Amino acid sequence: MERILVIDDDTELCELVAEYLSAEGFAVEVVHDGELGARRATNEPFALLILDVMLPKLNGFETLKRIRAVSHVPTLMLTARGDDVDRIVGLEIGADDYLAKPFNPRELLARIRAILRRTKPELLAEKLAVGDLELDFGARSVRRGGQPIAVTSVEFDLLGQLLQHAGQIVSRDDLSLRALGRPFYALDRSVDMHVSNLRKKLGPHVDGGERIKSVRGVGYLYALCQSVAESRA
């Protein structure tokens, strides 16, 4: 049974979420402040965290920062409806997805299952290398020039899609479906924020060229550095 930790000070909401998810086969535990949530999340094994932005003692952003310093446990953040700033900051810090309050429990369940499907280990480890980047799909790890790069589960899936189609455009629709588990819609900036985070973490190619290029109105492509492009020619 997969364990989920809910970090939210709304006791009524927590009771409803715990009851609903328990009926769906999850083991749900609840804490009501950020400090305790960070301690539990970093000292015990959980399949997923549900983390509210507004928390006593330590807000959701600071809580996630503490967790991300030592753990990449998948995290779904709860934000105020229409508050794009909270969503953007959460994604920048390392949240895998977000859901605005109030929400339909069925959508919460769908988001959770989509995240868990993406993060479930593959039965057979496979690796993909493009230039100085190597992805290990079994360990869900990224190395650049042999050195590990810390990425979230969504960032890993996005990068995997881009590298599998290196030199080709991948649409936002495909990236959203395969990395976020939901269709892309025009006002959703999640894919863009995760790509922005990847750019910062990966840096440019050794020749100074941009790794991930935007194709206006379409999507993104992983650009091959000159030496790799020539070897493929």
Residue 181: pLDDT band (50, 70, 90) is confident
Q: Are residues 8 and 89 in the same domain?
A: yes
Sequence-ordered list of residues with C-beta below 8 angstroms from that of 8, at least 6 positions apart, any chain: 14, 17, 30, 32, 50, 51, 52, 55, 78
Q: Are 42 and 63 in contact (CB under 8 A)?
A: no
Rounded CA-CA distance 130/73 in Å is: 26
pLDDT of residue 173: 87
| 33/49 same-domain check | yes
- 177 burial via Cβ count (<10 Å: 0-12, 13-18, 19+): middle
Residues 26 and 97 placed together within one structural domain of the fold: yes
- pLDDT, residue 154, reads 87
Average pLDDT over residues 34-45: 93
Residue 226 has pLDDT above 80, yes or no: no
- The answer for residues whose C-beta is within 8 angstroms of residue 192's C-beta and 6 or more apart is none
- Are residue 139 and residue 115 in the same domain, yes or no? no
Query: Which domain CATH number covers 68?
Result: 3.40.50.2300
- Residues 214, 163: one domain? yes
The reported pLDDT for the residue numbered 211 is: 94
Rounded mean pLDDT of the chain?
87
State yes or no: pLDDT of 58 exceeds 70.
Answer: yes
The sheet with strand 97-101 has its strands ordered as 27-31, 3-7, 48-52, 75-80, 97-101
Residue 124 pLDDT: 45
Q: Domain boundary at 87, 119, 151, which? A: 119
Same domain, 158 and 98: no
Class of residue 208 by CB neighbours under 10 A (exposed 0-12, middle 13-18, buried 19+): exposed
Is the model's pTM score more than 0.85?
A: no
Tell me: do 11 and 114 sit in the same domain. Answer: yes
Report which of residues 121 and 97 the model is more confident about: 97
Residues 11 and 86 in one domain: yes
The highest-confidence range among 75-84, 101-110, 112-121, 180-189, by mean pLDDT, is 101-110
Q: What domain count does the chain have? A: 2
Band of pLDDT at residue 220, cut at 50, 70 and 90: very high
29 and 105 belong to one structural domain: yes
Question: What residue numbers bound the domain in which 213 lies?
Answer: 127-232
**Residue 218's pLDDT is what?**
87
Indicate if 23 and 97 belong to the same structural domain: yes
pLDDT of residue 123: 42
Residue 102 pairs with which residues in a beta bridge? Answer: none
Question: Which two structure tokens, joined as six digits, stand for 98?
Answer: 């977000």
